Structure 1
Amino acid sequence: MTRVLYTLCGREENRPFSPHCWKVVLALAHKGLDFVERPCPFTAIPSIEYGFSKTVPVLRDGNRLVRDSFEIALYLEEAYPDRPTLFAGEGGKALSRFVESFSQMVIHMPVTKMAIMHIHDMLDEADQAYFRASRLERLGRPIEELAAEGEAERAAFAARLEPVRRTLHFQPFLGGDSPLFADYILFGALQWMRVTAGPPPLARDDTVLQWFERCLDLHDGLGRRVAAA
Structure 2
Amino acid sequence: MTRILYSLCGADAHRPFSPHAWKVVMALKHKGLEYTEQPTPFTQIPNLENGFSKTVPILRDGNELIRDSFDIAVYLDERYPDRPTLFGGEGGKALSRFVEGFSQTVVHGAIARIAIKSVHDTLGPADQAYFRSSREAIFGRSLEEVAADRQREIDTFAEKLKPVTHTLKFQPFLGGEAPLFADYILFGALQWLRVTDGADVLGKDGLLASWFERLLDLHDSAGRVVTAA
TM-score (norm 2): 0.98
Q: How many pairs were matched up?
A: 229
After superposition, the C-alpha distances for 1:24-44 in whole angstroms (9 at most, x for unaligned) are 000000000000000000000
* Alignment-mate amino acid for residue 8 of structure 1: L
45-54 vs 138-147, which deviates more? 138-147
How many angstroms apart in 2 are the aligned matches of 1:132 and 1:210?
Answer: 35
Partner SS state of residue 174, structure 2: coil
* Alignment-mate amino acid for residue 15 of structure 2: R
How many angstroms apart in 2 are the aligned matches of 1:138 and 1:50?
Answer: 27
Are the aligned partners of 2:136 and 2:143 in contact in 1 as well (CA < 8 Å)? yes
How many angstroms apart in 2 are the aligned matches of 1:200 and 1:97?
Answer: 27
Q: In the alignment, what sits opposite 2:164?
A: 164
Q: Does 1:190 align with 2:185?
A: no
Q: In the alignment, what sits opposite 2:144?
A: 144
Q: How big is the shift at 1:205?
A: 5.6
Q: Does 1:48 align with 2:48?
A: yes
Partner SS state of residue 59, structure 1: strand
How many angstroms apart in 2 are the aligned matches of 1:14 and 1:87?
Answer: 30
Q: In the alignment, what sits opposite 1:30?
A: 30
* Alignment-mate amino acid for residue 38 of structure 2: R
How many angstroms apart in 1 are the aligned matches of 2:140 and 2:54?
Answer: 20
Q: In the alignment, what sits opposite 1:210?
A: 210
How many angstroms apart in 2 are the aligned matches of 1:195 and 1:104?
Answer: 18
Q: In the alignment, what sits opposite 1:74?
A: 74
Partner SS state of residue 207, structure 1: helix
Partner SS state of residue 65, structure 1: strand
How many angstroms apart in 2 are the aligned matches of 1:16 and 1:204?
Answer: 27
Correspondences of 1:171-182 after superposition (within 5 Å):
171-182=171-182
* Alignment-mate amino acid for residue 113 of structure 1: R
How many angstroms apart in 2 are the aligned matches of 1:137 and 1:79?
Answer: 39
Partner SS state of residue 103, structure 1: helix
* Alignment-mate amino acid for residue 213 of structure 1: E
Are the aligned partners of 1:99 and 1:182 in contact in 2 as well (CA < 8 Å)? yes
Q: How big is the shift at 1:201?
A: 1.7
Are the aligned partners of 1:193 and 1:200 in contact in 2 as well (CA < 8 Å)? no
Partner SS state of residue 60, structure 2: strand
How many angstroms apart in 2 are the aligned matches of 1:205 and 1:113?
Answer: 21
Regions of 4+ moved over 4 Å:
none
Q: Does 1:131 align with 2:139?
A: no
Q: In the alignment, what sits opposite 1:226?
A: 226
Q: In the alignment, what sits opposite 1:84?
A: 84
How many angstroms apart in 2 are the aligned matches of 1:200 and 1:73?
Answer: 29
- Report percent identity of matched pairs: 65
Q: How big is the shift at 1:140?
A: 2.4
Q: How big is the shift at 1:144?
A: 1.3
* Alignment-mate amino acid for residue 47 of structure 2: S
Partner SS state of residue 104, structure 2: helix
Partner SS state of residue 38, structure 1: strand
Q: What 5-or-longer segments of structure 2 have no aligned partner?
A: none
Are the aligned partners of 1:190 and 1:200 in contact in 2 as well (CA < 8 Å)? no
